[in-house]
A and B are shown apart, each in its own frame.
Chain A
């Protein structure tokens, strides 16, 4: 595609201005995180010097390391749990023939229509009954089954030629071996997409940890931010922003690395 120089310049201009706007809040927070109190009040954009005082402060005020670890454990468990549960279900929907398959699939899809917030009240009671308040299983288990994930993987599994299944039947592969040695490796891209999506959404989860954690033992960073914000609000914005930067770095990195993958994978799951 050939483009005239003028339209190229024009597009670059638009790209630069708009993306600067979009990224500005993050950059701003980043700058603030290095500023001292007076600098912030003066309303500067660039800090006078890069000092990490706010970062050391935020780690001393809050068990932030603990929260980060909790968030990591919770996000990784949900990611792995979703991959396991969803891929098994998707395998059954694609490669096994059984009565009522369409009906069960419809039931799965129908869960997408139920907003999670509409079910949270009984879910909190369930967790209480199981005595799972302030536990990892309470934070993670309810999210292992995911209709969207099952659907995404099913779409990918459907593209596997049925001859591959037949060839492995002739080779004498058991059902599970076919699932494990052929289906999963062949669907690596979709698994990565779903994994990144699961990790990202769990890391950013807010309402459920707010309801399920009452002390610091398994509390996640998002709730930590709320805590930080309500403690420090009036005085030390620099410390708060340092906390913000610490919390968003893992997911931003994940997003930067997996942006292409995520974009392809999600739009595929959305459409077919």
Chain B
């Protein structure tokens, strides 16, 4: 179980602009670390630099306290699972699994023993003599996994390993990979563009955008306290609603998207900037009104689209140029064109500096505790 450390790592092609710059992160031994970002953000490049498949043009990469910048891939003591699985089409499942062991000249009977163990773990025992083309997508994926596991390397890299599977299988494999990683205690560096994978699998996640780190942290912290509007919209589905807002000094009101007016509690006024800002609110924090709701916290919106998902209802409406979405629990009979009262609270707002995008005000902690669990002070 090794630590992976990136110090000021950057990457450029032909001495042109950096595609990745100033990456500083330490991935702890045994950690499940997820790199997530939209396509083209540099996450795969970063993974491939760790693997040794791409040259590091700036900074230092340390694997287990040792500088690894110029080590060849096989000297880095890691395994890798590729998006297209990279199975050798001319070899059987068994030979695919033991390929790396064979290269290291392990004895044949020992190879067989290990392959058998891993095949059992992944339910591949019946397929050992088949060729990859005779397997389904999910089975191929398991072979790729088996190949990584059997190498017994302390670090495993995965590059979008689930993106070629259908949704149901993907959900299943998420928990399976997670389970294997925990039971073997390997350090996992996992690249995905899917924020659900990132949220559900990672101990910590790093969000990359245009080659720069946007935020590193525990999934739930990133969800609750996104460092900037990019993270706010990237994590969460539907994404956080954003709008420009200004503080109106005399009315002590926040004017959102020049339409909504929201009263600001007296103790918060001092913390707000006097310039314009970006506010964000999650769709689940736009509530239906109740008889107790105060009239000044209620907005009337015109519904432009409705999706009823059975256990929840999502509808959209326009706020200025922005399209906002709200998510209400349960089934609601809403039609396009309806005018609905929507209730919003100042506490649930995230407020970002308009220039730097920095988070100025966090939402309150909405986390709930089960009755018999001790609440930390």
Q: Interface of A with B (CB < 8 Å)? A: 161, 163-164, 166-173, 177, 182, 185-186, 188
Contact = CB atoms under 8 A, between A and B. Distances in A.
Given A169-B53, A169-B73, A164 B86 contact: yes
A186 B74 contact: no
- A-B residue pairs, 6 tightest by C-beta: A172-B74, A163-B86, A171-B100, A167-B86, A163-B82, A185-B90
Contacts of A186: 88-90
A172 B52 CA distance: 12
Contacts of A185: 90
Contacts of A166: 48, 51, 53, 73, 80, 82, 86
B86 A171 contact: no
B107 interface: no
B103 A173 contact: yes
Contacts of A177: 103
Contact of A169 (B72, B89, B99): B72
Interface of A is mostly: helix
Interface residues of B, number: 24
Interface string B35-56: 0000000000000100111000
A172 B51 contact: no
B90 A169 contact: no
Contacts of B53: 166, 169-170
A172 to B, nearest CB: 3
Given A170-B51, A170-B79, A171-B74, A163 B103 contact: no
A169 B74 contact: yes
18 contacts: A163-B83, A166-B51, A166-B53, A166-B73, A166-B80, A167-B86, A168-B99, A169-B72, A170-B51, A170-B80, A170-B100, A171-B103, A172-B74, A172-B103, A172-B104, A182-B88, A186-B88, A186-B89
A170 B90 contact: no
B353 to A, nearest CB: 42
Nearest to A177: B103
Nearest to A164: B86
B84 interface: yes
Nearest to A185: B90
Interface of B is mostly: loop
B157 to A, nearest CB: 9
B4 interface: no
A167 B83 CA distance: 12
Interface in B245-278: none
B78 interface: yes
A168 B103 CA distance: 9
A126 B362 CA distance: 84
A269 B83 CA distance: 28
Given A170-B51, A170-B79, 15 more contacts: A161-B84, A163-B83, A164-B88, A168-B103, A169-B73, A170-B80, A171-B74, A171-B99, A171-B151, A172-B73, A172-B75, A172-B103, A173-B103, A182-B90, A186-B89
Contacts of B88: 164, 182, 186
B104 to A, nearest CB: 7
Contacts of A172: 73-75, 100, 103-104
A44 to B, nearest CB: 54
Contacts of B99: 168, 171
A182 B74 CA distance: 17
Given A163-B84, A164-B86, A186-B89, A170 B103 contact: no
Interface string B85-118: 1101110000000011001100000000000000
